[in-house]
Amino acid sequence: MKFTNGYWLVKEGVEAHYAAQGYEAEQNGGGLVVYAPCRPVRNRGDTLSCPVLTIRYASPMKNVIRVRISHFEGEAGEKLRFELSPVLSQEPMLPPEVIFLSSEEAVLQSGDLSVRVALGSGWNVRFCAEGRVLTRCEAKSTGYMVSRRDSHFRGDPFLEFPYDDSGPRSGSYVKEELSLGVGEFVYGLGERFGPFIKNGQSVDIWNADGGTAGDQAYKNIPFYLTNRGYGVFVNETGKAQFEIGSEKTSRAGFSVAGESLEYFVIYGPSPKQILENYTALTGRPPVLEEETFGLWLSTSFTTSYDEKTVMDFIDGMLSRGIPLKTFHFDCFWMKGFHWCDFCWDEETFPDPAGMVQHIKAKGLKVSVWINPYVAQQSRLFAEGKARGYFLKKRDGSVYQTDLWQAGLAIVDFTNPGARAWYTEKIGAILDMGVDYLKTDFGERIPPDAVYFNGVDPVFMHNYYTYLYNKTVFEFLEEKKGRGKACLFSRSATAGSQRFPVHWGGDCESTFEAMAETLRGGLSLGLSGFGYWSHDIGGFEGNPDPALFKRWLQFGLLSSHSRLHGSNSYRVPWNIDEESVEVCKLFARLKQSLLPYLKTLAREAYDKGIPVMRAMLLEFPDDPVCAYLDRQYMLGPDILVAPVFNAKGTIEYYLPPGNWTHLLDRRTESGGKWMREIYDFLSLPVWKRAQSLLFSFS
């Protein structure tokens, strides 16, 4: 959020109270507490009628420093923050050492990372590591802002947060700004589909069902990393707002409404080490069973299908030599107007248990779609209402909307009874033989609802998806066993990487959307998520043959691969016969890579490193790789450059080293740009020469 009007002024109606100096410091409970008045204190009179910010520095683990800035501390109850995980590293964590070097400076050291707070005149905080300053807070960076504007809702409260078009809404905010150096780039902040480098962008951490074509996102993660050796995690479940070199070009700013703000500075120094430390703090994904890495086929969304259609598609894939591992039933396995009641539409599927067993007899896993909403016509609505299992309005009535399913209510996952009730209903379909669940939606959560546990609904808007997916994933583990659970989830927040897999949401069937999808996946990988997928061919629209075949290549060289669309079947022979050959070739290629993919899954579990990696993760010292968002590394050894046009022309960068093409086996020395033309049965897919991978044949 921007509070200023240019360099000199604040916006009309805003009062700015900036930390002016480190006035006093003390060691407290293993941490460091600094008191920062919002004006210089030159005499006793200056201590009167002056806001003071209390800033606590502590370290939960080596090379990580937590900062909590607060103004008034008399707020009722504990503020909802993200669930942090135990440190997964076996290395013993040494307690941070607090050193008062002199009356002019206080230092907290954690491993190689330290925070150094100047005491006396001026506000100056430096985060340092191994003899260099990583980032710093200076004048007008740490602040308590008060807006006198009137707040209001604009539009549907399910989609919007209260705000004022011309400035921040009324109330108080705590803000922080960390310096950005020359040539410093910021990455991450969730699955974002716009420019890969976030400098110059304003980013709101507020989950929305907005597709992939704009600045809204399904997976907003208040974490970023930079190419200067550190990352920043803002531990706020509410609406954190980032100004990445946008309000001030040399600063990354972030703010939240209220009286306090907590963030962590996480040292690497490499991007991989930053992710390892961040995911040690917020959690890592489990190792998924190997079937999940194979090809998934979906019914698509609004298509008409029954058991015969489903079996024809499965048999068609297998008879054409396309290895298929999972079949997915999207929304209309349930009857329209009844979602979710977890009951098969009996008119279309008279023997669902038999059908599931027929599919499993083909050697496939079965997945079905669910969401956290219960339509008024569902058999579960009256039951959930009577038991108090839905979000409520302030007058005690059920919070309902017609947006999606008529009269839908929203399950309250802060209620233990509601969680048990919801999973009990899921249990019946799992007992039938269903293996995986697509946990769709979870973004349209009202910011003014009343929850069972009384939590502020603004803090729950993003956090709702965490509780939703945690409830379902842990129930799947309970029913199927550890290592057997798998979701296909759209919404996420910090820590949701514990409940994989996540897919990219509703993209258009265009080459532009294919590119924006890849940007989103690479940004999500730099936000702590180990696995990621997307709709091959795009969701909205019908892909032409060229687009579909190029997206097949990309999709089958992604972490997880799914054929899915909106109103058209995505079996490849419905597109053209060459699509069958492309699908078969690349599905077989992915199957040959399964031992390699399993090692990558283990690395995601052990260290939080994603399977699909932005080039900068593997080549952090190559300045070219800092910019690349149209190619990626599949693990440490395979470079993939999708083709984003019908003609097959491509320009991509091959980093230094010796490389072997995985399909045609030619060799190249890297450190150069490549300009080539590929037909639909190939694309740039190179392995490092020192890799132990075998060539595909």
The catalytic residues are 440, 443, 506
Return the SS3 of 595.
helix
**Of 539, 545, 460, residue with least CA distance to 505:** 539
Let me know: does 65 contact 137? Beta carbons within 8 Å.
no
- 44: buried, middle or exposed (CB in 10 Å: 19+, 13-18, 0-12)? exposed
H/E element, 354? helix 352-361
Q: In degrees to the nearest 10, what's the CA dihedral of 617, 619, 620, 623?
A: -130
User: Any idea which residue has 């298509």 for tokens?
Assistant: 303
Q: In degrees to the nearest 10, what's the CA dihedral of 492, 493, 498, 500?
A: 20
CB atoms within 10 A of CB 193: 26
Distance CA 151, CA 146 (A): 13
DSSP structure class, residue 438:
E
CA atoms within 13 A on the CB side of 176: 25
Distance CA 67, CA 33 (A): 10
Terminal Cα distance for the chain, rounded: 54
Per 3-state DSSP, what percentage of the chain is helix, strand, and coil (rounded to 5)?
25, 30, 50
CA atoms within 13 A on the CB side of 180: 26
Instruction: Please state the separation of Cα 102 from the chain's center in Å.
Output: 43
Tokens standing for residue 412: 């309250």
User: For the chain, what's the residue count?
Assistant: 697
CB atoms within 10 A of CB 689: 14
Distance CA 80, CA 78 (A): 6
CB atoms within 10 A of CB 697: 7
H/E element, 231? strand 230-234
Going from the C-alpha of 364 to that of each of 87, 200, 334, 485, the distances in angstroms are 36, 46, 21, 15
Let me know: does 551 contact 643? Beta carbons within 8 Å.
no
499's CB contacts (< 8 A; 6+ apart) are: 285, 469, 470, 472, 473, 487, 489
Q: In degrees to the nearest 10, what's the CA dihedral of 346, 351, 353, 356?
A: -100
Distance CA 502, CA 443 (A): 14
For every residue of 135-184, DSSP letters joined together read EEE-TTTSEEEEE-PPP---S-TTT----BTTBPPSEEEEEEEEE--TT-
Antiparallel, parallel or unpaired: β 125-129 and 24-28: unpaired
Phi, psi at 522, each rounded to 5°: -65, -40
User: Any idea which residue has 């190179």 for tokens?
Assistant: 686
Tokens standing for residue 497: 């990487």
Let me know: does 219 contact 524? Beta carbons within 8 Å.
yes
Return the SS3 of 636.
coil
